[in-house]
Structure 1
Amino acid sequence: MTDDDIRSADSEPAADEPGSGDDRRTLTDGGRVAPDLLPGAEGQPLSDVTVLELGHIIAGPFCSMLLADLGAEVIKVEHPERGDAVRDSNPVGNSSFNYVNRNKLGVTADLKTEEGRTVLRDLVEEADVLVENYAAGTADRLGVGYDDLRVVNEELIYCSIKGFNPGPYEQFPALDPVAEALSGMMSVTGHSDSPPVRSGTSVADMAASLYGALTVLAAVRQRDATGEGQHVTVPLFESSVALMGYWLAFTQAYDEVPEPMGASHPSWAPYDVFRSADDEWVFVGPSSDRQWRRFCEALGVDLHEDDRFAALDDRLDNREALKAEVQTVCADYEAADLVERLQEAGVPVAPVNDTADVCEDPHLDATNAMSEVRATEGEGGRVRVPRFPARATGFDRVESTDPPALGEDTDAVLGALGYDRERIRRLREEGVV
């Protein structure tokens, strides 16, 4: 990698400049390791928090991305040759990498070498949080587990995202579909006449990531009060079970196991997707008798006057007949007309967008919900990805930066830690970074 390949390489200190020896910031400085590399964090709630990520694929990277979106400095540490498991892998892997690794700095270190672990320990000394989602036991075997690194920084919040909490399952290999299957999520997804299906996105990974980011924030607040770090463990399985909580309560209270329900719901009818005259799918879900009457009036039918469909209990008792009638009505309208009529009537309705539709959604454009980042591998060019969705009156959202190329910021970050040019050159020659 040449100097041209290093983001902000001109910010590296020369061997005889301040910062090249022992003149290093400390955790109590409340600063960032390399403040000039990720602009725009000033005024953000986590602008004084540095996060190290030993993450790959979705769960770890998504968790640290959420912290970056709130202003944290996130330094992604990857193997010098292989990098993240989905880097330059396949179209889906490349695309997931492009999304969950924005707003980060990229550093490489071979943690199987002592000098690579030294690099990580030097980073840990300056960090507030570390997020990792290695397979169970891997971090400890590498010598970078919590017990190894708490010696370096007793205030470190160490977040491990795993398949399971410690217990009977903890050593089992886990993927997103494993958690979806075990948690019951698959059992209610799809249709009763088809095999169980997983969600169309990595919901178990992302649920664990969200719980991870939330718990990290709580741990940082506690650390600020006590001065003590801690180990946070966040499981895919138990996080997915948490999302299934009301169905678990339902089963125990009513001694009934819910079946796959497609786009419908056992408590309301009509509540499903229907085909329009132009062969598009539209979700329609009037959830009260008033909305049901508005549905019928907006589409010029009198189904609400039919005794079979007058009240909610009647509609639930005659669900299949009602579904057929509503399908006949919807088939008379093109999707855009159907959606417009029902929106004006105050009836819950939505076209079933595909991903191309979502990329062009006018509301997302109007609300500045998407940002453009470099597609680092595979596709080339630039892609639009979602920004942090929440808004706050006290701070603005962070503007997205490109996901880093492999090791893009290694020289600059190590320079900020006090490594001189000769030491960095030697580490590169030896394949450590």
Structure 2
Amino acid sequence: MMDASDTKGALSGLVVLDLSRILAGPTCTQLLADLGATVWKIENPKTGGDDTRAWGPPYAPDGDGNDSDLSAYFMSSNRGKRSVAADLANPADRALLERLAARADVVIENFKPGGLEQYGLDHATLCARHPGLVYCSISGFGQTGPNRNKPGYDLMAQGYGGIMSLTGAPDGPPMKVGVGIADVMCGMYATIGILAALRHRDATGEGQHIDLALVDAQMAWLINEGVNFLTSGTPPQRRGNGHPNIVPYDVFAASDGHVIIAVGNDSQFVRFCDFIGRADLPEDPRFATNPARLIHREALLPQVATALGRFSMADIIAGLEARKVPVGPVNTIPQALDSDQAHARDATVELARDNAPPVRVLGNPLKLSRTPVRHDLPPPSFGEGTNALKEWLGERENADTAHTDEHKRVD
């Protein structure tokens, strides 16, 4: 058991062979790196590495002020790792990865199902050789099922999995979420699965294969709307910023911007109506309870909107906070990331780079009291860790040889 005073990171000593690219897998391995794991990110020299290195601008500048190979997209999910240039079709490179797999605790990949079999790096081959290995496969639709061979991208997962049907204005088209949330949440599920499998490995010595699909993960986080349908049989509808089960819970226009109102119960509704000067609304049977307000949503919301439009954002926020009614601003990304709260909570971090300006990236939100997350390695330039991996493997193998020789001498 790890000493609670360990400050190296909760996953210090864990070794990860990262064969993933784009966003879902890299999100997972970045989280593992933040928690102390050593992550070796394998990138194909024939393609210039992870596809997202070219998903710019913007790019971080190099030491001469020119664009580097660090796009903002790539940097969003690849800090804390070491980049290794290796071509799976090259026998020498493949042998290097096989040596790394023998030392790794975790392998993660997002090739199409069966795509790694020709290289001997698939889960069946590696798990048979290394029974304690935790091997995570991420794909669009999973390793089984009629769609297993179809490609998987975030937008396709959002479309297939149903979330786009819920997102957007009621009279508008289906809309994706503003960021690659299907990929990101899949990476979160992958992290949880890997940690659970490691717990089992540490208790029993048995590794295992984790089969995770973007679409499966996306359907899992339909949350209340998914269960609303399963319970009622009625397909959920797009409501813009409105809530399917609470009214009023929406974005409203103030005289100088927009605010979020989240009235969670009937007593809050009474206090809310007192502030907007409509104490008569809770007395109307159509609006007295939340179930009634849900039924009469279309009659209530225009009246609420008209009343709120007379106030400024600042007055609404101050007035409702004083009455303990949930309220907040609609911030732009600059306003959010440069807010006092963001600074107090290290929502962004600055990472130093050798011979180049530092880069600013989003911080890890986990606040661990005894094993804090690490933000000590910037996103890597392509292939910069290749020699380091060879040296590291040599040191490990030499150490094993010395241990074996010493054991023989003792016998």
**Above 0.5 in TM-score?**
yes
For 1:415 and 1:306, the matched residues in 2 are separated by 75
CA 336–400 in structure 1, closer or farther in 2 if over 3 Å, else same: farther
Deviations 1:111-131 (A, max 9, x none): 111011011111112111011
* Counterpart in the other structure of 1:411: 387
- Separation (CA, whole Å) in 1 of partners of 2:194 and 2:31: 11
Where structure 2 has 5 or more consecutive residues not aligned to the other structure, the ranges are: 60-70, 396-411
Aligned to 1:393: 369
| CA 129–250 in structure 1, closer or farther in 2 if over 3 Å, else same | same
Query: What is the DSSP-based 3-state SS (H/G/I as helix, E as strand, rest coil) of the residue aligned with 2:52?
Result: coil
- For 1:9-88, what aligned pairs fall within 5 Å after superposition? 42-81=7-46, 82-88=48-54
CA contact 1:371–1:400 (8 Å) conserved in 2: no
Residues 337, 347 of structure 2: 8 Å contact kept: no
Amino acid at match of 2:330: V
Q: Which has the higher contact order (CA 8 A, sep 6+)?
A: 1
Shift of 1:152: 4.6
For 1:150, what is the secondary structure of its paired residue?
Answer: helix
> Measured at CA, do residues 410 and 215 of structure 1 come closer, stay the same or move farther in structure 2, by a change above 3 Å?
same
**1:54 is aligned with what amino acid?**
L
> CA separation in 2, counterparts of 1:257 and 1:46?
43
1:173-212 matches, cutoff 5 A: 173-212=151-190
Deviations 1:79-113 (A, max 9, x none): 12410011133237922211100111111111111
Preserved CA contact (<8 Å) 2:157 2:218: yes
**Alpha-carbon separation, structure 2, partners of 1:70 and 1:191:** 39
* Distance of 1:92 and 1:314 partners within structure 2: 49
| Aligned residue number for residue 92 of structure 2 | 115
Deviations 1:171-205 (A, max 9, x none): 11111122212221111111221111111111111
**What letter matches 2:165 in structure 1?**
S
**RMSD across aligned C-alpha pairs, in angstroms?**
2.3
- The one-letter amino acid paired with 2:242 is S
* Separation in structure 1 between the aligned mates of residue 352 and residue 268 of structure 2, nearest angstrom: 45
Task: Specify the SS of the correspondent of 1:71.
Answer: coil
2: distance between equivalents of 1:92 and 1:271? 36
Shift of 1:341: 2.1
State the AA in 1 paired with 2:381. Answer: A
Corresponding pairs, count: 376
Q: SS at the partner of 2:360?
A: strand
What does residue 17 of structure 1 align with?
Answer: none
Match of 1:225 among 203, 215, 224: 203
Q: Which amino acid aligns with 1:294?
A: R
Cα–Cα, structure 1 residues 182 and 365, in superposed 2: closer, same or farther, change >3 Å?
same
Distance 1:383 1:331 in 2: 41
Counterparts of 1:60 and 1:387, CA distance in 2: 18
1:9-408 alignment, distance < 5 Å:
42-81=7-46, 82-91=48-57, 94-165=71-142, 166-278=144-256, 280-307=257-284, 308-373=286-351, 381-408=357-384
Change (3 A) 1:92 1:145: farther
TM-score (norm 1): 0.81
Identical pairs, percent? 36
CA shift at 1:54, angstroms?
1.0
The verdict on how the C-alpha distance between 1:303 and 1:266 changes in structure 2, with shifts beyond 3 A counting, is: farther
- Quote the Cα distance in structure 2 between the aligned partners of 1:221 and 1:208: 20
How far has the Cα of 1:219 moved from its partner? 1.0
Q: Residue 430 of structure 1 corresponds to which residue in structure 2? A: none
Moved more, 191-200 or 294-303: 294-303
CA contact (8 A) 2:107 2:134 kept: yes
- Cα contact 1:371–1:385 (8 A) shared by 2: yes
Q: Give me the TM-score of the superposition, normalised by structure 2.
A: 0.85
Contact 1:161 1:236 in 2 (8 A): yes
Q: Distance in 1 between matches of 2:140 and 2:353?
A: 29
Native 8 Å contact 1:188 1:260 kept in 2: yes
Return 5+ residue gaps in structure 1 as ranges. 1-29, 31-40, 420-433
User: CA offset at residue 154 of structure 1?
Assistant: 2.9
What amino acid sits opposite 2:263 in the alignment? P
